[in-house]
Structure 1
């Protein structure tokens, strides 16, 4: 019987998982290097879809303080995303404060009880000011080595509507495929009704594409907030979609031939 790799991935989400990173990882606080590891791993606690970096104790330049044993709660969501705090642990272990010179990072370290990972300290991404993989600044969250982006030029005819109003129509979109996420179509601005879009204040960060700014649509008396987004200064993998407009398929009507 054939096995779907997508289904295999989904079936493992309730397990404690880890992988080697094969790169140097550093974390900074107020310009100080607090973590510097040539042999980091990435760890996914059960039910987390985004992992965190974990390093050996010797790779942390400052003390671990206040050992606090932690047991997983039973009331966590079925899936945990980066929106859920690092402190929402789903495996037994102990939380530690990390005493940087300028401030204490409360609960920013976590050592698992699992014997295979007992020598590692899991690190809270949000507790640190800056992360680097080798010399590349990392943003958003820890980078999953099993995730990738493909940007493919396509000649498919795409029409985007809200009701009877056409927001965009193109024969020249770029198809962006990101592992385990829906396919997205990025449309050249000349094929978009920019007169019905208004720049919003929303900004989000993708670990693989960069910082996105958003647009709301004004159709008659209706305002559809944050209906589309743009990467004006994307990370290298997303360079082909620089300045293109992508619409939330969930908030508009999309027809693709």
Structure 2
């Protein structure tokens, strides 16, 4: 029987997964070089959809302090761990702190016990600054099995929310991102901007860049209307075709394509938006 690739990959979610990378990785904390290596591993801990870098312990330029921290219990962890949080760790290992100069970075590392990863220390992305070759990286470590693709489209796209027409366009850009629902980016001229107000919320995507958000201006909507859509004012290279175009959560709004209603999908980031 044929196997859908998305389901096959999802079935690995509870496993500890890794992939060697060949590019030079440098890790900084301020002006302190924490690590420099060409032997890093991308590691997906159990229940993680976003990888982190593990570097050889011998390539760390700082002191490693092993801690006696109780192991995390998988039974108390959610089925999918939110991105951006280093703990909990559902693979065998030892929590470590790192001493960078005069600063001790508490629990910023995790020494993995798995035989294939022994001698590597997983590092908390948010505790450091990261450079691949000479490129400064943002958001999180990039997944080599993930990509984005943009396609200009003349399909009739309509977006509504609780009876309000938010957008009506035939000149959108379809953005396809591995394992996520299709996203429709629309020119603001085709969006009911009078129904929206700027939000102070921002997120960073490793593939598209830093996003700014819009909320529905009706205060009675509360959380339901908050951060309903976003745009990229200064996107990374692969996302340049959607620069300044506005995208709404298809998980939270009602999408119609060429007159046909599209069911609201589920996505791994629905609960973390």
Measure how far apart 1:26 and its partner are.
Answer: 1.3
Q: Is the 8 A contact 2:66 2:94 kept in 1?
A: no
Q: Is the 8 A contact 1:87 1:107 kept in 2?
A: no
Q: Indicate the residue corresponding to 2:22 in structure 1.
A: 22
Q: Give the number of equivalent residue pairs.
A: 255
Q: Is the 8 A contact 1:70 1:94 kept in 2?
A: no
Alignment of 1:1-16 (within 5 A): 1-16=1-16
| Residue of structure 2 equivalent to 1:240 | 241
> Deviations for 1:160-215, whole angstroms, at most 9, x for unmatched residues?
12344322111111001111111100001111122221111111111111111111
Other-structure match for 2:193: 194
Q: Mapping of 1:5-154 within 5 angstroms?
A: 5-68=5-68, 70-73=70-73, 74-83=75-84, 85-128=85-128, 130-154=129-153
Q: Matched residues in 1 for 2:130 and 2:219: separation? A: 45
Question: What is the rounded CA distance, in whole Å, between the counterparts of 2:50 and 2:253 in structure 1?
Answer: 28
Q: Which runs of 4+ in 1 moved over 6 A?
A: none
Query: Separation in 2 of the partners of 1:125 and 1:249?
Result: 29
Deviation at 1:220, TM superposition (A): 9.4
* Higher fraction of strand: 1
What secondary structure does 2:118 align onto?
Answer: coil
Q: What do residues 49-86 of structure 1 show as CA deviations (whole Å, max 9, x unaligned)?
A: 11110111121111111343653313111111214x32
CA distance in 2 between partners of 1:68 and 1:222 (Å): 47
Given that 1:153 and 1:172 are in contact with CA atoms closer than 8 Å, whether structure 2 keeps it comes out as yes
CA separation of 1:72 and 1:220: change in aligned 2, threshold 3 A: closer
In structure 2, runs of 5+ residues without a counterpart are 259-273
Give the TM-score taking structure 2 as reference length: 0.88
What is the alpha-carbon distance in structure 2 between the residues aligned to residue 62 and residue 14 of structure 1? Answer: 32
- Matching residue of 2:172: 173
Q: CA deviation at 1:135?
A: 1.4
Separation in 1, partners of 2:113, 2:92:
6
